[in-house]
Chains A and B, each alone.
Chain A
Amino acid sequence: MTLLAATNLSKSYAGVRVLDAVDFDVRAGEIHALLGENGAGKSTLIKILAGAVVPDTGDVTLDAGRLPIGDPLAVRRAGLSVVYQEFTLVPELTVAENVFLGRERAGIFLHVLPFLHRAEMNRAAQAVLDELGIHVAATTIVRGLSVAHQQMVEIARALVSDAKLLVLDEPSATLSHIEVDRLFAVLRRLRDRGLGIIYISHRLEEIFALADRVTVLRDGRTVASAPAAGLDRTALIRWMVGRDVSEEFPARHQSPGAVVLEARGLAAPPRFSDVSLTVREGEIVGLAGLVGAGRTSTALALAGALPAKGDVRVNGRPAHFTSPADAIAHGVVYVTEDRKARGLFPLMGVDANITVTYLSMFARAGVLSLARERTAAAAAAREYDVRAATLTQPVATLSGGNQQKVLLARYMLKRPTLVVLDEPTRGVDVGARAEIYGLMNRLTAEGLAIVMISSDLPEVLGMSDRVIVMRDGRTTGELTRAEATPERVMALAMAG
């Protein structure tokens, strides 16, 4: 039974056709995956469904009733809820308060005054959580919850408003494998209850594990819509990219050189307590582990952004960086996993975002040569294939993949000794991912050492020369490329 039917949706921004006569439908009791490269139109489609964007043409019906266009609150009330990548929770409030945010159960107490029915809301919220199989007390403050649990609170919020259709935008981006499995269990339970679910993700193995049907968008058009069973990876990629991206991970011919970084007994409790690793010139060392294992904290410590104890040597010499500026000056750089919040400067253009770290390169006697800066930024943008109409355009207008390349270009402007890439392809589409892998290979061939933190197991296995696994703040093991298998990595990453 068709739950949601979108017909002939089109949208243009400043003459650019972002969606072109897109038809899309979701059945009740179905998990429908929506795939497409960045710029394919997925987010615009979702924003139209959610009421955040008004389409130029087209209609959407939900449960045979016309879905209000351009009115997010009405859409929510009609039964369509979206769980975005950036959560909309209030960290200082409890789970129950967040679940009922905006639709608090209040009433006349003894017919005199309006009071929040706190106990009732707690009970109702707890009931939803228990039903979803989530072991969190409704009275917990959201700030203390893990990202995975916060996501569950978002889902509970949607359910409490009697959602008939749930849209999840890249929900697994910040989750570990166990948490993804739990999420899937919840989603399947919801589907079996009759909910329709739209699931957006770049992770193809998830699509195969979860989806009943798959729709692929490319360049604003629907290029394919089919049951998931019987589809294979190559077909999906070809639909998404329009060409055969046969080798997702380019071949690596590594010949590692001298040791550039050596860490022993690195500790910054409670985040991590015992980390040891070595990295050589020209090597890619994958740092694997579950979310919360302490990988990003380790990276921050190496990059001088987190005070830590222990023995660290860079090129043989003891190094204890007190700030990222210090580390950068010694050739150790860290590229954040959170481009938007901690990497890019949204108010600045692409060029300024590229040159910011090594800006003094373009200054003579303290005065900047804007011309030299512009030339260097343009050269870097070309070298890293950053696709932007003009270099002065605000960096926020670029796609995720191009933004990631801007960050790379920034830190590579002056070739460092070691770069730590934290989730370098998170939220990046297949085409741009291949480009970033190619860049990583080229840079290591030129002698750069890379530590790559990744929660994407295929990526870890496909790109690393060696895999170091962390668990609960400790390095638990090291595997060579030949030795590394998903089972071995997961065994080292998980307890028991």
Chain B
Amino acid sequence: MRSWLSKNAIFVALAVECLVLAVATDAFFTVDNLSNVLRQNAFTAILAAGMTFVILTAGIDLSVGSIVGLSGMICADVLVRGHGLAAGVAVGLLVGLGVGVVNGLVITKVKIPPFIVTLAMMQVVRGAAFKYTDARTISGLPVSFAMLSESLPTFGITAAVFVLAWLVLTRTPFGRHVYATGGNPEAAWLSGIRVKRLLFAVYALCGATAGLAGVLVASRLSAGYPRAGEFYELDAIAAVVVGGTSLFGGRGSIWGTLAGAFFIGILNNGLNLFRVSTYDQMIVKGAVLLAAASLDRWRASS
């Protein structure tokens, strides 16, 4: 019983949270409110999906927030130049992938810790996003683009990302190797896992999901905004940790991440509905992250 609870804590917490809010206020369980929650938290969730892979290998990617900014900018630029929706989205994804590739290369070839590499790239990429238009916002994007961030497409894209991530993590050798590399990198190397290739792929993947999130944010803003995605990396990491993935690697689940992202999102939503101030919300968010991390340690030691 205790181990079931330990493994599924976040789902229970999410269910309890929804139940409490549904009972406490009429405003929670409405189509309008719930679709708002979905649209607001989809970006974090998608970032967190890619981040789950990285954190499972005991790594971290601090550059995803900046990638959201840069990919959104370049995607918007492509669209404004009239190249069509598909091109814009594709370029946005590629930008994210590109940064992820750079992260992966530096981490595996130059062997600098992921924290430092992605912290540096966070700056470089954000700087590039600003430099791209000399800090000007790109507006005048086609309406069809803005429709991407409507409820249904958002739901569809988020669901697709998570189902795909789940399949890869649990049903492919690559996914299993991700868990193994995080659980014991030395043993992974000796047991025949191509660790460098795996880590490279994981950071490239995380960059790509950040690129996707960047495209969606740009769609939501209907603009290429150089500061888009600021601090998103923190929300993504929080979602992964609250969702039960261990920062030490080797343990966690993608559905936990999804639940974690929405646990935090619904918490914010609930606090909004009760008119708790933004600042109090920040404190609550931090406290929740601390509680989740403590739970992780307790789980690891028992």
By a beta-carbon cutoff of 8 Å, the part of chain A in contact with chain B is 303, 305, 323-325, 328-329, 334, 336, 341-348, 352, 356-357, 359-360, 363, 366-368, 370, 410
Q: Are B183 and A346 in contact (CB under 8 A)?
A: yes
Q: Are B190 and A345 in contact (CB under 8 A)?
A: no
B172 contact set on A, CB distance < 8 A: 363, 366-368
- Within 8 Å of chain A (Cβ to Cβ): is B184? yes
Which B residues from 168 to 198 make CB contacts under 8 A with A? 171-173, 176-177, 179-180, 183-184, 186-194
Q: A345-B183, A367-B171 are in contact. Are A324 and B176 (CB under 8 A)?
A: no
Cα A470 to Cα B189 in complex, Å, equals 26
Can you offer 19 A-B residue contacts whose CB atoms are under 8 A? A303-B190, A324-B191, A325-B192, A341-B187, A342-B186, A345-B180, A345-B187, A347-B183, A347-B250, A348-B183, A356-B176, A356-B180, A356-B192, A357-B191, A359-B173, A363-B173, A367-B172, A368-B176, A410-B191
Most buried by A among B167, B172, B179, B191: B191
B177 contact set on A, CB distance < 8 A: 356, 359
Q: A352-B176, A368-B173, A368-B176 are in contact. Are A325 and B183 (CB under 8 A)?
A: no
Nearest Cβ on chain A to B47's Cβ, whole angstroms: 25
Cα A461 to Cα B33 in complex, Å, equals 76
Cα A343 to Cα B190 in complex, Å, equals 7
B171 contact set on A, CB distance < 8 A: 367-368, 370
A348 contact set on B, CB distance < 8 A: 179-180, 183, 250
- Within 8 Å of chain A (Cβ to Cβ): is B251? yes
Q: Are B190 and A305 in contact (CB under 8 A)?
A: yes
Q: Are B179 and A324 in contact (CB under 8 A)?
A: no
Q: Are A346 and B173 in contact (CB under 8 A)?
A: no
A360 contact set on B, CB distance < 8 A: 173
By a beta-carbon cutoff of 8 Å, the part of chain B in contact with chain A is 167, 171-173, 176-177, 179-180, 183-184, 186-194, 250-251
Q: Are A325 and B193 in contact (CB under 8 A)?
A: yes
Q: Are B184 and A344 in contact (CB under 8 A)?
A: yes
B192 contact set on A, CB distance < 8 A: 324-325, 328-329, 356-357
Using A336-B187, A348-B250, A367-B167 as known contacts, list a sample of 17 further A-B pairs with CB atoms less than 8 Å apart, ordered by residue number in A.
Answer: A305-B189, A323-B189, A323-B194, A334-B190, A341-B186, A341-B187, A342-B190, A345-B179, A345-B180, A347-B183, A347-B251, A348-B179, A348-B183, A356-B176, A356-B193, A357-B191, A367-B171
Cα A48 to Cα B199 in complex, Å, equals 43
A363 contact set on B, CB distance < 8 A: 172-173
Nearest Cβ on chain B to A368's Cβ, whole angstroms: 5
| Partner of A336 from B188, B190, B194, B250 at Cβ < 8 Å | B190
Cα A100 to Cα B174 in complex, Å, equals 47
Cα A324 to Cα B186 in complex, Å, equals 11
Cα A370 to Cα B234 in complex, Å, equals 35
Nearest Cβ on chain B to A464's Cβ, whole angstroms: 24
Q: Which 6 A-B pairs have the closest CB atoms?
A: A328-B192, A359-B173, A342-B186, A347-B183, A325-B192, A347-B250
Q: Are B194 and A356 in contact (CB under 8 A)?
A: no
B180 contact set on A, CB distance < 8 A: 345, 348, 352, 356
Nearest Cβ on chain B to A120's Cβ, whole angstroms: 37
Residue of A nearest to B179 (CB): A348
A329 contact set on B, CB distance < 8 A: 192
Nearest Cβ on chain A to B182's Cβ, whole angstroms: 8
Tally of contacts, chain A with chain B, CB under 8 A: 73
Dominant SS among interface residues on chain B: helix
B183 contact set on A, CB distance < 8 A: 345-348
Nearest Cβ on chain B to A371's Cβ, whole angstroms: 12
Cα A324 to Cα B189 in complex, Å, equals 7
Cα A346 to Cα B176 in complex, Å, equals 14
B191 contact set on A, CB distance < 8 A: 324, 343, 356-357, 410
A367 contact set on B, CB distance < 8 A: 167, 171-172
Cα A95 to Cα B20 in complex, Å, equals 58
Most buried by A among B173, B183, B251: B173
A305 contact set on B, CB distance < 8 A: 189-190
Q: Are B187 and A343 in contact (CB under 8 A)?
A: yes
Most buried by B among A344, A345, A360: A345
Cα A213 to Cα B173 in complex, Å, equals 53
Nearest Cβ on chain B to A427's Cβ, whole angstroms: 17
Q: Are A344 and B179 in contact (CB under 8 A)?
A: no
Cα A1 to Cα B190 in complex, Å, equals 51
Residue of A nearest to B194 (CB): A325
Nearest Cβ on chain A to B188's Cβ, whole angstroms: 8
A345 contact set on B, CB distance < 8 A: 179-180, 183-184, 187-188, 250
A352 contact set on B, CB distance < 8 A: 176, 180
B167 contact set on A, CB distance < 8 A: 367
A342 contact set on B, CB distance < 8 A: 184, 186-187, 190
A356 contact set on B, CB distance < 8 A: 176-177, 180, 191-193
Cα A370 to Cα B169 in complex, Å, equals 13
Residue of B nearest to A367 (CB): B171
Residue of B nearest to A373 (CB): B176
Nearest Cβ on chain A to B102's Cβ, whole angstroms: 23
Q: A345-B180, A345-B250, A347-B183 are in contact. Are A324 and B173 (CB under 8 A)?
A: no
Residue of A nearest to B172 (CB): A366
Q: Are A347 and B187 in contact (CB under 8 A)?
A: no
A336 contact set on B, CB distance < 8 A: 187, 190
A370 contact set on B, CB distance < 8 A: 171
B190 contact set on A, CB distance < 8 A: 303, 305, 324, 334, 336, 342-343
Cα A352 to Cα B190 in complex, Å, equals 15
Residue of B nearest to A352 (CB): B176
Residue of B nearest to A323 (CB): B194
A346 contact set on B, CB distance < 8 A: 183-184
Q: Are A344 and B189 in contact (CB under 8 A)?
A: no
B184 contact set on A, CB distance < 8 A: 341-342, 344-346
Cα A323 to Cα B193 in complex, Å, equals 9
Nearest Cβ on chain B to A327's Cβ, whole angstroms: 8
Cα A345 to Cα B192 in complex, Å, equals 13
Most buried by B among A323, A328, A334, A410: A323
Cα A342 to Cα B167 in complex, Å, equals 28
Nearest Cβ on chain A to B250's Cβ, whole angstroms: 5
Cα A357 to Cα B194 in complex, Å, equals 11
A341 contact set on B, CB distance < 8 A: 184, 186-187
| Partner of A344 from B176, B187, B193 at Cβ < 8 Å | B187
Cα A198 to Cα B232 in complex, Å, equals 57
Q: Are A347 and B179 in contact (CB under 8 A)?
A: yes
Residue of A nearest to B176 (CB): A359
A324 contact set on B, CB distance < 8 A: 189-192
A325 contact set on B, CB distance < 8 A: 192-194
Nearest Cβ on chain B to A365's Cβ, whole angstroms: 10
Residue of A nearest to B168 (CB): A366
Nearest Cβ on chain B to A397's Cβ, whole angstroms: 13
Cα A303 to Cα B191 in complex, Å, equals 10
Residue of B nearest to A341 (CB): B186
Cα A367 to Cα B172 in complex, Å, equals 5
Nearest Cβ on chain A to B199's Cβ, whole angstroms: 13
Most buried by A among B176, B179, B188: B176
Cα A363 to Cα B251 in complex, Å, equals 22
Nearest Cβ on chain A to B176's Cβ, whole angstroms: 6
